[in-house]
Amino acid sequence: MRVALKAYAALLLVQGALWSNPAHADWRDDIGTFRIGIVAEPGAGNTVPGLARLTDAYTKALGMKVEFVVARDYAVLIEAQANARIEYAIYSATAYATASQRCGCIEPLVAPVDFDGAIGIRSVLLTRDGKLPDLAAMESHRIAMAPSDSVGGSLLPLAALTAEGRKIADNAPFLVHAESAAAAETMLLDGKADGLFGWVTAAGDGQPEASGIQASGTRASGPQASGTQARLEAAGLSATALQVVWTSGLLRYGPHAVRSDLDPEAKRRLTVFLTNLKSMTPDIYDLLESKHSGGFAVVAPKDYEMAAAVVRLVSGSGPGQ
C-alpha cells in the first residue's frame, strides 16, 4: 500500500511538471525577447533615463529577456504595437485610444495615479460672479477657450459635449480661442469673457473630486486644487467668485498597454509588478513614471471612453459616446 501511495505521489509530481513548467516556458519561448515601447521626452533623442535599471526590473518581473524600444513619437509606437513588433507600450490617453481604434488588438493594464488620488482630468466650464447662468446660455455669452489643440481646454470639452448630444462647432461665434491657456484665463479675469473652458484634476466617479471645487463655487473637502481653478485663484480671483457651470466626463491618465494576445501569465506578472512598484521599489517607479507620483492602478478599456470620444472628434469618425 505504501509503495502504491509513493508511486501515486510521484505520478502527481510528474503530471504537475508537465502541466505547469512547459506552459510557463512556452509563452516566453514564443516571444523570445519581450519588447517594451516608450516615447522619448522631446529633445532626448532615443535615450531614456535609467533605461538599464528599468530593463533589469522588467526582466526580473517576467523572468525573460526584455528590450526597450524608444520611438520618436506616438504614431511610430502605435504602428509598432499594431504590427506586433512590440508587446507592451506606454501611452498617453489619446494615443492609447488611437491605437485601440487602429487595430483593436491592445488592452490597458495599469495607469498612474497622482499623490492626492487624482486619476485623470475633467474639463470644466467656469464663470465668475454668476455671469453665465447655465450651459444653455452659452450662445448668448462670450466663452474663452485654450488653443484648438489643447486637450483639456478645447478638445475634451468639445468631445464631451458632443457625447452628451450638444455638438458645438470649434468655430462657433460665441467661442473665442485665445493664443494660450493663460491668455484664455486672463480674458475671464479681465471681464472680456463670461465663461471659460478649463480643466481640473479629478478622482474617479463616486470619489471626492481632486479639483476641490463645487458647483456653488465653494471648496470641497479633499485633495488640493489643481489646473485652471488653481491658476485663477493664484492670479487673485476669489474661490467664492468662481462657479462651475458644467463638468465633463473623466479623461483618465494614459495607460501601460499590452497586446490582447499576450499570454495571461505575462499579463498577470506585469500587473503585479506595476501595482506594487511604488511601494516596493519607489526609485524604479520614479524612473518609469515621473509625472504622477501616486503609484499604478488597474484599468480597463471602459476607462478610456472619453479619450476615444476625443479621438473621434479629431478624426471626424463619428459622434462621441
Q: What is the pLDDT of residues 43-72, one digit of tens each?
A: 666 778 899 999 999 999 999 999 999 999
> Which pTM was predicted?
0.84
Q: What is the pLDDT of residues 142-194, one digit of tens each?
A: 999 999 999 999 999 999 999 999 999 888 999 999 999 999 999 999 999 99
Spatial distance between the Cα atoms of 220 and 198, rounded to a whole number of angstroms: 18
Return the C-alpha cell found at 252. 483618465
Return the C-alpha cell found at 260. 490582447
DSSP string, 67-119: EEEEESSHHHHHHHHHTTS-SEEE--HHHHHHHHHHHS-EEEEEEE--TTS--
Spatial distance between the Cα atoms of 229 and 199, rounded to a whole number of angstroms: 8
Half-sphere CA count of 61, side-chain side, radius 13 A: 23
Q: Where are the domains of the chain?
A: 27-113+253-315, 120-247
Same CATH topology for 27-113+253-315 and 120-247: the answer is yes
Q: What is the pLDDT of residues 112-124, one digit of tens each?
A: 999 999 999 999 9
- The CATH H-level superfamily of 27-113+253-315 is Periplasmic binding protein-like II (3.40.190.10)
Spatial distance between the Cα atoms of 260 and 153, rounded to a whole number of angstroms: 32
Under the banding of pLDDT at 50, 70 and 90, the label for residue 20 is: very low
- For residue 120, list its beta bridge partners: 202, 252
What is the dotted CATH code of the domain comprising 120-247? 3.40.190.10
Task: Provide the angle, in degrees to the nearest 10, between the axes of the packed helices 51-62 and 264-275.
Answer: 130
